[in-house]
A and B are shown apart, each in its own frame.
Chain A
Amino acid sequence: MMAAAARLFVRSTNPRLGQVVSGGLLSSLSRTQTQKRNLAHFTYQPDPVPTQYGPTQKMNLFQSVTSALDNTLADDPTAVIFGEDVAFGGVFRCTVGLRDKYGKDRVFNTPLCEQGIVGFGIGAAVAGATAIAEIQFADYIYPAFDQIVNEAAKYRYRSGNLFDCGNLTIRAPWGCVGHGSLYHSQSPEAFFAHCPGIKIVIPRGPVQAKGLLLSCIKDKNPCIFFEPKILYRAAVEQVPVDAYTIPLSQAEVLQEGSDVTLVAWGTQVHVMKEVANMAQEKLGVSCEVIDLQTILPWDAETICKSVAKTGRLLISHEAPLTGGFAAEISSTVQEECFLNLEAPISRVQVEVLRGHQEDDQLLTDTCSP
C-alpha cells in the first residue's frame, strides 16, 4: 500500500520525491522469500464518539447491528428478520436476543435456500412488510443473484411504480477474515454494482454500521448491506443507543490532505488510514482519506472534488482488480478530472483470497494494474 502511494509519486513529475522513493522504500516492501503471515496488518481505528445522537454505549460491530435491528423491530411493527440460523442469534451474533424480545413470528429461521430467502423477502417487501433478510455469508449470495438483479432491482420500473420492494434489506457478512478461504472471504459488491435499482452499502465500523443500516432499512429501495466480518469483534466504538441515520450515497472525508486522495470502503479504510500516517511520516506526503460508504449509487462528487484538489487518486479494495469497483471510480474520475490529474489513477487490490493456511496466498486476479 505504501509502495503504491510511493509509486504514484515516482510516476508523477515531482522530482523531490522521486529519488527518495525509488531507492529504499520499494525494496523494503518487496516480497520476502519467507512466507510470513500477511493477514490484515491493520489496527482498527475507532471513530470519535458521536455527540449528536444522544447517549452512547460501547459496542462492537455485531452489537451495533443488533442495536439497529432492535430499534427497527421496536419502531416498525411490520419489520421481520429472517435468514439461516438467525433465531438463536446468528452465526455472528448479530440477532442475539431479538427473537426472545419480539417473538418468533418476527425473527425466524429459514431453511438452507438463498434463492428462496431473497425471493421470499421480495414478496414480503412488496406486500408491505419491512423485510430484513440475512444471507449467512456474502459468498453464498449467488443463488439469489437472479432474484436480486432480475426481480428486486427491476420491480419498481417494470410495474410503472405501482409496486416496489423498497422495504427489502439484505444483510451479509463480507470480506476477508484470514482463514476464510474461497467461500467465506468474498467481496461481491462489484457484481451488484452493475445493476441499477438496488443500493449497496458497506460500513467501516460500528457507528457507521448502525446509522447506515437504519438508513438502508428506511430507504425506499432494495438495499444490500455488507458487514465486514473481520470487524465484527475487532471494531469497538461508542455507539448511540437510539436510532439515527447516516445518509446514503455520501462519501465521508476522514482526513483532509493535499497531495493524494485515498479511497476505500469497509475494512480497507483502516488500512488506508494507517498508510496515510505512514506516508506523512516517511514521505512527507499529505493524504486525503475518503470512505466511500455507499457503493451504489456512489458519491462521485466528493471524490472528484477531492481529486481536483490533490491531483492524484489511489483506490483500494479486497475484491479482484479486474472489474472491481475501483475500475468504475477510475473511469469516472479520469473523465471528470482529466486535466487535474498529475498521475495515472492507481488501483490496488490488497488482501487476496486466503487459502486454508494463513500464510498460503491463493490468488484470484490475473491482471496487473
Chain B
Amino acid sequence: MSPCTLSIHQEITTQLVDVSHKQSAEDEQQLKLKLKMLTNISNVLRACAQRHGVAAVMSARTYADFTSEATFEIKKCDTFKLDVAPATEVVMTRDEGLHYYRVMQTIRRMELKADQLYKQKIIRGFCHLYDGQEACAVGIEAAINLSDHLITAYRAHGYTFTRGGTVKEIMAELTGRRGGIAKGKGGSMHMYCKHFYGGNGIVGAQVPLGAGVALACKYQGNNELCVCLYGDGAANQGQIFETYNMAALWKLPVIFVCENNRYGMGTSVERAAASTDYFKRGEFIPGLRVDGMDILCVREATRFAAEHCRAGKGPVLMELQTYRYHGHSMSDPGVSYRTREEIQEVRSKSDPISLLKDRMLSNNMASIDELKEIDVAVRKEIEDATLFATTDPEPPLEDLCNHIYHNNPEIEVRGTNPWSKLKSVS
C-alpha cells in the first residue's frame, strides 16, 4: 500500500468514527458514502495485492482485515461402493488454516532435524521420515477427535505429534533418552501416546490390532472410532484381508487408511500389486481415493468416513495418494528406484505446506509475515526440543529391564555379562 492511500484509509476510518456519533440524516448519508469509498479502496488494494505481490501490501494490514473463512473447491474423490462422496466445496477458517500450517510445518521441521541428527549419529538405529506426507496426518486429525483412536506403522513421528505427543518427547525418544515418549526404550518406530497405539515395526501387523480397537469402541458404545493406517507395501499382506473380513462382518467403526506413497521401500506399486486401486481392495468395504497432498481433501474425506463409521454402517477404506521426499528410511538415499526429477516435481507442484500457504495467501487469510512468524516459532520449538533431546540423560540402568511383564514380583534379568544381574521391577 502506498503511503498516500494509507493515509486516506486512516483519515476515512477516523472520520467514520467521528461521524457515527452524530445523529443527523445528512451525516448518515455522508457515512454511507464514506463506507462505500472505504469498501472500494479495500477492493482496489486487494486487487493491487495480487498484481504487485503480496509482501508490499500485507505488512500494513491489520489482522481484522483478513478473511475469517473462505470456501475452497477441492478435488473430487473416487468412490467405490458408495452412492455419495465427500463434499467438493469446503470451508476453512483462518484459525484452522493457521493451525494446520503450524502443525504441518512443525512436522516438516522435526523430520528434517531428525535427518540432520541421524547424519550426525546422534540418532541411531532406524529412522523413517514423514516429510511430504504431512497433509495426511494433519488432515486426518482435523476430522477426528483426540478421543478417537489411531494406529499406524513405523513412519509414525507425524502421527505421534498430531495425537498429542510434544516435539520434545518425540525427539528425546529418537535419541533414546529418558524424557522420550516411550521412556527411551522404543525409539523411532515405537512411539505411543494416549489413544495412539504406535508405532509398529512389523509390516501389516498393526491392522488387525486396529480392528480390535474398533471392536472395543463398538462394544463400549462410546461413539469413538479407530483410524487404522498402513502403506502400499503392507496392502499385500494376508492379515490385511483377514481384517477387512472381520471389520465388515461385524460392522466395526474402523477407517482403514492406505497411505499410498507409490513405493513400498524400493518397489513401486505397479511392481508389487496386481491392483493398484488400493481403495477397491476391500472388495465389500466402501472405498475412497483421496488426494493425500491436499489437507482439505484429506480432512473432508476423513469427515465423511468418520460419519459413516459413527452411524454404525461399518468400515471405510481410504486410499491417500501421497509422497515421501526422503527414502524409505535413513539408510535409503531414495534415488535408486525413482528419479530426482520426480521428487523435485512433487515438491514443486504438490507440496502440502506450499499448497496450504498459497491458498491462505491468495484468499487473504494470512500474511506472509504472519506465516514467517509461525516458521520462526516452529524453528525455535524444534531447536529447544533438540537441545533437550541431546542433553537429557539416557534411561537409568534400573529402568532397563522393567516392563517385561506386568507387576511381577521383582525378577532377576541377565545382562550381556551373565554375572551382572539386573532387576525387573515392572
Q: Which residues of A contact B (CB under 8 A)?
A: 3-4, 7, 26, 29-31, 35, 38, 84-85, 88, 109, 111-113, 115-116, 139-140, 143, 179-184, 321, 348-352, 355-363, 365-369
Is the pair A113, B418 in contact by a Cβ cutoff of 8 Å?
A: no
Expressed in whole angstroms, the minimum distance between the Cβ of A84 and any Cβ of chain B is: 8
Q: Which residue of B lies closest to A347 (CB)?
A: B418
The main secondary structure of chain A at its interface with chain B is: loop
Q: Which of A26, A181, A350, A351 contacts B187 (CB 8 A)?
A: A181
Is the pair B415, A360 in contact by a Cβ cutoff of 8 Å?
A: no
Is the pair B394, A357 in contact by a Cβ cutoff of 8 Å?
A: yes
Of residues 368 through 426 on chain B, the ones whose CB sits less than 8 Å from some CB of chain A are 394-395, 397, 400-401, 404-405, 411-422, 424
The 9 closest A-B pairs by CB, nearest first: A356-B125, A356-B187, A31-B420, A111-B236, A357-B176, A183-B201, A111-B272, A112-B233, A179-B125
B234 within 8 A of A: yes
Q: Which residue of B lies closest to A362 (CB)?
A: B185
Expressed in whole angstroms, the minimum distance between the Cβ of B394 and any Cβ of chain A is: 7
Is the pair B234, A183 in contact by a Cβ cutoff of 8 Å?
A: no
Is the pair B419, A85 in contact by a Cβ cutoff of 8 Å?
A: no
A272–B109 CA distance with the chains assembled, in angstroms: 47
B397 proximity list for chain A (CB < 8 A): 35
A85–B265 CA distance with the chains assembled, in angstroms: 9
Is the pair B419, A350 in contact by a Cβ cutoff of 8 Å?
A: no
A358–B238 CA distance with the chains assembled, in angstroms: 34
Given A30-B417, A182-B201, A366-B413, answer yes or no on A115-B234 (Cβ-Cβ < 8 Å): no
Given A355-B176, A356-B188, answer yes or no on A38-B125 (Cβ-Cβ < 8 Å): no
Given A31-B420, A357-B176, A360-B394, answer yes or no on A368-B414 (Cβ-Cβ < 8 Å): yes
The main secondary structure of chain B at its interface with chain A is: loop
Of residues 191 through 226 on chain B, the ones whose CB sits less than 8 Å from some CB of chain A are 201-204
The 23 sampled A-B contact pairs (Cβ below 8 Å) are A29-B419, A30-B417, A31-B415, A85-B267, A88-B266, A111-B236, A111-B272, A116-B236, A116-B238, A143-B238, A181-B187, A349-B414, A350-B416, A355-B125, A356-B124, A356-B125, A356-B176, A356-B187, A360-B395, A361-B400, A363-B413, A363-B422, A366-B413
Query: How many positions in chain B have a CB within 8 Å of any CB in the partner chain?
Result: 51
Q: Which of B125, B204, B415 contacts A352 (CB 8 A)?
A: B415
A26–B271 CA distance with the chains assembled, in angstroms: 56
Q: Which residue of A lies closest to B187 (CB)?
A: A356
B88 within 8 A of A: no
Is the pair A112, B419 in contact by a Cβ cutoff of 8 Å?
A: no
A85–B263 CA distance with the chains assembled, in angstroms: 12
Is the pair B185, A363 in contact by a Cβ cutoff of 8 Å?
A: no
Chain B, 240-268, contact with A by CB distance < 8 Å: what is the 0/1 string? 00000000000000000000000011110
A365–B417 CA distance with the chains assembled, in angstroms: 12
A181 proximity list for chain B (CB < 8 A): 125-126, 187, 189
A367–B397 CA distance with the chains assembled, in angstroms: 18
B239 within 8 A of A: yes
Given contact pairs A181-B187, A357-B184, A366-B413, enumerate 19 new A-B contacts (beta carbons under 8 Å): A29-B417, A31-B417, A84-B265, A85-B266, A109-B272, A111-B236, A112-B237, A113-B237, A116-B236, A140-B203, A179-B124, A182-B201, A183-B189, A355-B176, A356-B125, A356-B187, A360-B184, A366-B411, A368-B412
Is the pair A109, B267 in contact by a Cβ cutoff of 8 Å?
A: yes
B271 proximity list for chain A (CB < 8 A): 109
A88–B233 CA distance with the chains assembled, in angstroms: 17
Is the pair B418, A357 in contact by a Cβ cutoff of 8 Å?
A: no
Is the pair A349, B424 in contact by a Cβ cutoff of 8 Å?
A: no
Chain B, 20-62, contact with A by CB distance < 8 Å: what is the 0/1 string? 0000000000000000000000000000000000000000000
B201 proximity list for chain A (CB < 8 A): 182-183
Expressed in whole angstroms, the minimum distance between the Cβ of B248 and any Cβ of chain A is: 21
A295–B233 CA distance with the chains assembled, in angstroms: 33
Is the pair B272, A112 in contact by a Cβ cutoff of 8 Å?
A: yes
A88–B190 CA distance with the chains assembled, in angstroms: 30
A7 proximity list for chain B (CB < 8 A): 419
B82 within 8 A of A: no
Is the pair B418, A369 in contact by a Cβ cutoff of 8 Å?
A: yes
